[in-house]
Amino acid sequence: MSVGVLALQGSFHEHLAALGKLGVKGVLVKKPEQLEGLVGLIIPGGESTTMARLAEYHNLIQALQNFYKKGKPIWGTCAGLIFLANKAIGQKSGGQELIGGLDCTVHRNFFGCQLNSFETELPIPKIAAEEGGPETFRAVFIRAPAILEAGPSVEVLAEYTLLSNESTKFCSTIENTENEGQCQTGQKVIVAVKQGNLLATAFHPELTSDTRWHSYFLKMLGENGHQSLVPVKVKQDPENSLSSSQIRDLPIFQQTEVLSFEL
Amino acid sequence: MASDGVVTVYGNGAITDPKKSSYAVKVGLAQMLRGGVIMDVVNVEQAKIAEEAGATAVMALERVPADIRAQGGVARMSDPGLIKEIKRAVTIPVMAKARIGHFVEAQILEAIGIDYIDESEVLTVADDMHHINKHNFRMPFVCGCRNLGEALRRIAEGAAMIRTKGEAGTGNVIEAVRHVRSVLGDIRKLQSLDDDEVFTFAKQIAAPYELVRQTKQLGRLPVVNFAAGGVATPADAALMMQLGCDGVFVGSGVFKSGDPARRARAIVQAVTHYNDPHVLAEVSCDLGEAMVGINLNDEKVERYAERSE
């Protein structure tokens, strides 16, 4: 009984580390057969185009769709959110394969290029109510997507309020593609949702030390009638332990800047 | 905290936008590139082939390193028009190279809104003493290194990502292996030291003590570390990953080969499945001709890696 992390590309080590902190063993998934026996799956951040290509090469798309249809919880962060959406705009020419399931329209690169990447204290009332802790979450948005439209069955967990100068900037991004004049100053965009067994965030909880989103997802595994993953201190299995493959975790950025160069 | 947003370093005429981009955001994009392949491209067609193959980012250039080697002359930042054209054509992040120490080229690249700047020894060096002070930019930088000291000096200057240099444009992986082994070997040595001995170690490798201490604690570089310079086959790429890198830059190796689309796809798959010899065998079949490559025993071959410390 373990949680999988899709390990085609991107921040999967960071997710494993976050799960490890909660005492849960994560398993790297690169091939369809590795999905067997998992109770849930995390699709990490990364380049969604790349992940879609790699998933196609190994027939993972179909396997992931079946995984979702079996009612097993999937959580997508950033690229993972795009993967789970029914419709994504702003894709590469020719489009990309999506798993689908989430009744949303996602703009693939809503917040623009790296210059527009940012971090913010995002209000997360629902998560704070269930998991405790501060009312806000340090959310890191990296060339991030956003949800433009969400269907009635989708529960909105967090919204980001665009600053006035940002909304013009982002509007121009959107006009470049196909959705004109959708945003106004002070408009809110949806950046975290839940629908049934799907959870999706446009930002990267795996890049910060706050594990509330991970713990929220682990509770979803219980909700779905599976044996609940009670956080137990698991000894790292050498098979999946990072040290065995020489790969170690990057610093998970704390509330204060970890990397400072003062001497 | 050193100087994010401090603009006085370059004198009164500083242009750099002081708006802060936190170090976490800069390193964050590199973290999203982990486990991926970054490919050198010289035009829109190649950029599309790279994207289609599953590259996580492209490096927009006028000439790939193999051509820079063959043609000689001064290699500079690419035409911003070309970079913008490539940026419009693809959805994945676009990187571009600036000369070492040439902070105005970096300002121009920041102004056109690319995603990452490579302060690269492949281009002709503009300042033989100083690198760009990368804290002054909102844009993240990747820099080359041959050993741990060099890597940590670049991080101290503000680099948010490191690549081992290898020897670009040669199609010969020996230098890439040497540099990766040097960096990771030094980290292993560092970990075996007593805390009291770290001060002298920092002095010996000429790196800031604070970063050396942090590297010892983490057991790895504090930023994402890619391999570069000489990767030409899926096996080369997987070798870099098994040695312990977070991802791979492929320069001339893809578009100087017989079947670029196929080779690009194979290298992308090799990086994902780097520890699965069955997949590696499968993707290595029928790739057509690899780039010819240069024998590095030849003294006359210029070593780009030695251009900066």
Q: So what's the pLDDT on residue B296? A: 80
Cβ–Cβ below 8 Å for B114 and A50? no
CA distances to B155, B188, B196 from A256, rounded to whole Å, are 18, 28, 27
Query: Which of A33-47, A161-175, B155-169 is predicted least confidently?
Result: A161-175
A94-110 mean pLDDT: 86
Active-site residue among A14, A78, A107, A214?
A: A78
A110-118 mean pLDDT: 85
Query: Which of A213-222, A236-245, B182-191, B197-206 is predicted least confidently?
Result: A236-245
Q: So what's the pLDDT on residue A177? A: 42
Cβ–Cβ below 8 Å for B140 and A114? yes
A209 contacts A151 by C-beta, under 8 angstroms: no
Q: So what's the pLDDT on residue B19? A: 44
Please check the confidence at residue A28 and state whether its pLDDT lies above 90: yes
- Cα angle, residue B301 at apex, residues B300 and B306 outer, rounded to 5°: 115
pTM: 0.86
Domains contained in chain A, CATH given = 2-258 (3.40.50.880)
Q: So what's the pLDDT on residue A255? A: 34
Q: Which residue of A has its CA nearest to B247?
A: A9
Please check the confidence at residue B131 and state whether its pLDDT lies above 70: yes
Please check the confidence at residue A118 and state whether its pLDDT lies above 90: no
Alpha-carbon distance of B208 to B194, in angstroms, equals 17
Alpha-carbon distance of B141 to B157, in angstroms, equals 10
Q: So what's the pLDDT on residue A185? A: 55
Alpha-carbon distance of B29 to A148, in angstroms, equals 23
Examine residue B12 and state whether it is found in any structural domain, yes or no.
Answer: no
Collapsing DSSP states into helix, strand and coil, what is residue A29? strand
Alpha-carbon distance of B292 to B172, in angstroms, equals 9
Partner residue facing B25 (CB), from A50, A142, A246: A142
Query: Which of A166-180, B186-200, B242-256, B282-296 is predicted least confidently?
Result: A166-180
Examine residue B216 and state whether it is found in any structural domain, yes or no.
Answer: yes
- pLDDT band at A10; cut points 50, 70, 90: very high
Q: Are strands A146-150 and A102-107 parallel, antiparallel or unpaired?
A: antiparallel
Among A15, A47, A263, most B C-beta atoms within 10 A, so best to mutate, is A47
CATH number where B152 lies: 3.20.20.70
Examine residue B7 and state whether it is found in any structural domain, yes or no.
Answer: no
Bridge partners (DSSP) of residue A161 are A188
Q: So what's the pLDDT on residue A164? A: 61
B226 contacts B247 by C-beta, under 8 angstroms: yes
Q: So what's the pLDDT on residue A221? A: 87
Greatest mean pLDDT among A243-247, A259-263, B84-88, B297-301: B84-88
Q: From the CA of A62, how many Å to the nearest CA of chain B?
A: 19
- pLDDT band at B59; cut points 50, 70, 90: very high
Which residues in chain A have Cβ-Cβ distances shorter than 8 Å to B2? Answer: 260-262
Please check the confidence at residue A114 and state whether its pLDDT lies above 60: yes
Q: How many domains does chain B have?
A: 1
Query: Which of A11-25, A86-100, B48-62, B96-110 is predicted least confidently?
Result: A86-100
Examine residue B112 and state whether it is found in any structural domain, yes or no.
Answer: yes
- pLDDT band at A188; cut points 50, 70, 90: confident
* B62-86 pLDDT per residue, tens: 899 989 988 988 999 999 999 999 9
Enclosing domain of residue B219? 23-273
Examine residue B8 and state whether it is found in any structural domain, yes or no.
Answer: no
For chain A, percent of residues with pLDDT exceeding 70: 74
How confident is the prediction for chain A on average, in pLDDT?
A: 79
* B1-44 pLDDT per residue, tens: 333 333 333 333 333 343 456 788 888 889 999 999 999 999 99
Please check the confidence at residue A167 and state whether its pLDDT lies above 60: no
Does residue B97 have an active-site annotation? yes
Q: From the CA of A109, how many Å to the nearest CA of chain B?
A: 8
Q: What is the DSSP letter of B202?
A: H
Q: So what's the pLDDT on residue A251? A: 60
Q: Which of B301, B129, B136, B151 is nearest to B225 (CA)?
A: B151
CA distances to A35, A44, A86, A215, A219 from A131, rounded to whole Å, are 28, 21, 29, 8, 10
Cβ–Cβ below 8 Å for A114 and B116? yes
Examine residue B225 and state whether it is found in any structural domain, yes or no.
Answer: yes
Q: So what's the pLDDT on residue B10? A: 34
Using the CB atoms, write b or e for B30-61: b if 16+ within 10 Å.
bbbbbbbbbbbbbebebbbbbbbbbbbbbbbb
The type of residue at B233 is T
Examine residue B307 and state whether it is found in any structural domain, yes or no.
Answer: no
Examine residue B18 and state whether it is found in any structural domain, yes or no.
Answer: no
Cβ–Cβ below 8 Å for A249 and B218? yes
- pLDDT band at A119; cut points 50, 70, 90: confident
